[in-house]
Amino acid sequence: MPLNYTPQFAPKDWIDQLDRVSAGGENGFNARFQAISAEFLTLSRMVKVIGNTLDSLSIGPPVQPVTLTLTPLAISFTAFPWEQGNGVVKSPVNADKASGFMPVDLPDGARLVRFTAYGEATGDSLANAQLQRQLLAGTPNGERIASVDGTAGTFTKQDDIAPGALATVDVTQFKYQVLLRWNWRNDVDQTALFSGFQIEYVPA
């Protein structure tokens, strides 16, 4: 329906002492009231069209997911640190395990969607990367948000994050980090490395 309006109700004037007012007929009360009703119906439709048009203008485009790409940088908190390389962290020489963590800055209110880890693990050794949150107060254990395991060569592993409290970033109460762990599964000399991480999220 076009956004214009032309009034249709234009009744003839009654003339005193000449017209006989009646309910029926083309100039009677019924015809005039029906014409007024039709006029209001047309106005109602026009108002609805205008309202729908204004609503459509107020709806913005959907928020698109953002991918945060991270270069591994492991901070050690045990006697088995990762070895820092050029853009990677590697399993230490002559060791059968490694552990460390890297802090992650995430925007408050964002909804986490997916966590992806890139790396390499020889043989059947297991390289694990876990996205966590940890309360700011006290020294609590980290809560797992997403976790991936890499083994048997070059890997790209991802974990989809289900909607819910853990998926919603809250920097007023939590800090965020990636926990990195690796260990052998047998006596054969094995190695592992992480070459990158990606966190996909929808901004608030």
Assign 82 a pLDDT band (cuts: 50, 70, 90).
very high
Helices then strands (H, E): number in the chain?
A: 1, 10
Q: Is the pLDDT of residue 103 over 90?
A: yes
Inter-residue contact 151 to 127 (CB < 8 Å): yes
Assign 75 a pLDDT band (cuts: 50, 70, 90).
very high
**pLDDT > 70: what percent of the chain?**
95
**What average pLDDT does the segment 64-74 reach?**
95
Of how many residues is the chain composed? 204
pTM equals 0.69
Residue range 173-182, pLDDT digits in tens: 999 999 999 9
How many C-beta atoms lie closer than 10 Å to residue 118's C-beta?
21
Assign 3 a pLDDT band (cuts: 50, 70, 90).
low
Residue range 149-189, pLDDT digits in tens: 998 899 999 999 999 999 999 999 999 999 999 987 666 67
pLDDT attached to residue 14: 67
DSSP per residue over 6-62, as a string? Answer: -----PPPP-TTT----SSSTTSHHHHHHHHHHHHHHHHHHHHHHHHHHHHHH-PPP
Lowest average pLDDT, out of 65-69, 86-90, 100-104, 148-152, goes to: 148-152
Assign 40 a pLDDT band (cuts: 50, 70, 90).
confident
**What average pLDDT does the segment 131-159 reach?**
91
**pLDDT > 90: what percent of the chain?**
52
Q: Which residue has the tokens 């270069």?
A: 71
